Amino acid sequence: MRGVWQAETEAERLERRVRFQELLYRLRGEPDTLLPFHQALALRPKGERHLGLRTIEVDKVVGSVDRYEDFDRHFLPKTPHTLERWKRLRALALAGVEFPPIEVYQVGEAYFVKDGNHRVALARATGQRFIDAYVIALEVPVPVEPGDTLKDLILKGEYAHFLERTRLKELVPEAEEIRFTALGRYDLLLSHIATRRYFKGLEEDREIPWEEAVVDWYRGLYQPTVAAIRRLGLLEDFPGRTEADLYLWVMDHRHFLAQELGVDLGPEEAARSYEARFGPWWKRWGGVLKGVWRLRERVS
């Protein structure tokens, strides 16, 4: 009876804690949900390996196969039904009952529960650091990390599709990761590759294989533009963005200048022009003053 009473008391405190955390995340405009496993499948897993019984970190269990709506992002019960189930499990635990291992899918460094959602919730609520689990590891080109949000997972799914479509890692083994902060950007990269393939075919009067176009785009366009962005320290001017974000912005600006001036600037000149136009105010004014100085020199 004492265990039942303690479980009841802890469940009431847990409910208040979950409601408070839900309010905080709502005020911040952040999601307060577990990651759904079906979204992880968008990472294009190539296969799976049964690793058997392992001891895993509870904090790295970030999602569920089919119960992701019943728990918050900390894997605590959100609904009356899940809270009631948690309370019964807590009473059994206080009575000395040992539970069987859970079953999980491992995707990168994170885990998704196949069976044992309430046991994970019990472990999280009571501060348990490790839990036994039967692990099935999925082989994915873009790994999931414990701190990933749903948006991160969707972005990684888009990246996995891009890698599958381009075979970039196979064609250019030294290629660096291309990460965006906004959705739908990898389709723009595919468009860049197709456009470069088309014009290269016109220049050389031949059909350019897709694989050749991918390599030519990465080494002849993406890599030089990113190198210019690094030399200029442009990323420091746009906190929270990535080099891939800036690549698209610089390329859009380069296209605009080509339409306005009739001249296609190189990666370095386009990046400098973008910085002067859209960078911090002191850099924009610096660009204006340099232009005035050059004009003065010409006149004199």
CATH number at residue 125: 3.90.1530.10
pLDDT in the model for residue 14: 82
Do 112 and 180 belong to one domain? no
Show Cβ contacts of residue 213 under 8 Å, excluding neighbours closer than 6 positions: 193, 194, 196, 197, 200
pTM confidence score: 0.81
CA distance 204 to 270: 25
Given a cut of 80, is residue 293 above it in pLDDT?
no
pLDDT in the model for residue 160: 95
Given a cut of 80, is residue 50 above it in pLDDT?
yes
Higher pLDDT, 21 or 225: 225
Q: Which of 101, 121, 139 is the last residue of a domain?
A: 139
Do 182 and 288 belong to one domain? yes
CA distance 151 to 212: 32
pLDDT in the model for residue 7: 81
Do 129 and 217 belong to one domain? no
Do 183 and 291 belong to one domain? yes
- Residue 221: give the domain boundaries: 167-299
Do 93 and 214 belong to one domain? no
Find the range with the poorest average confidence among 93-107, 119-133, 140-154, 270-284. 270-284
18 by DSSP, 3-state: which? helix
Do 92 and 179 belong to one domain? no
Find the range with the poorest average confidence among 48-52, 66-70, 248-252, 275-279. 275-279
Higher pLDDT, 123 or 276: 123
Q: Which of 96, 119, 139 is the last residue of a domain?
A: 139
Do 9 and 123 belong to one domain? yes
pLDDT in the model for residue 21: 83
Do 248 and 119 belong to one domain? no
CB 48 within 8 A of CB 134: no
Given a cut of 70, is residue 291 above it in pLDDT?
no
The DSSP bridge pattern shows strands 110-115 and 102-107 to be antiparallel
Q: Give the pair of three-digit tokens for residue 18.
A: 């979950």
52: left (phi over 0), alpha (psi -120 to 50) or beta: left
77-120 pLDDT, tens digit per residue, is 988 899 999 999 999 999 999 999 999 999 999 999 999 999 99
Among residues 177, 166, 174, 175, which one has the least CA distance to residue 44?
Answer: 166
Residue 160 falls inside a structural domain: no
Do 106 and 191 belong to one domain? no
Residue 144 falls inside a structural domain: no
Number of domains forming the structure of the chain: 2
pLDDT in the model for residue 258: 81
pLDDT in the model for residue 289: 44
Do 242 and 121 belong to one domain? no
Residue 250 falls inside a structural domain: yes
Do 21 and 122 belong to one domain? yes
pLDDT in the model for residue 257: 82
Q: Which of 139, 156, 180 is the last residue of a domain?
A: 139
Residue 44 falls inside a structural domain: yes
Residue 241 falls inside a structural domain: yes
Find the range with the poorest average confidence among 9-23, 142-156, 179-193, 283-297. 283-297
pLDDT in the model for residue 24: 80
Do 180 and 278 belong to one domain? yes
CB 112 within 8 A of CB 138: no
Residue 146 falls inside a structural domain: no
pLDDT in the model for residue 281: 46
Residue 272 falls inside a structural domain: yes
Residue 151 falls inside a structural domain: no
Backbone torsions φ then ψ of 102, nearest 5 degrees: -85, 175
pLDDT in the model for residue 173: 95
Mean pLDDT of the residues in the chain: 88
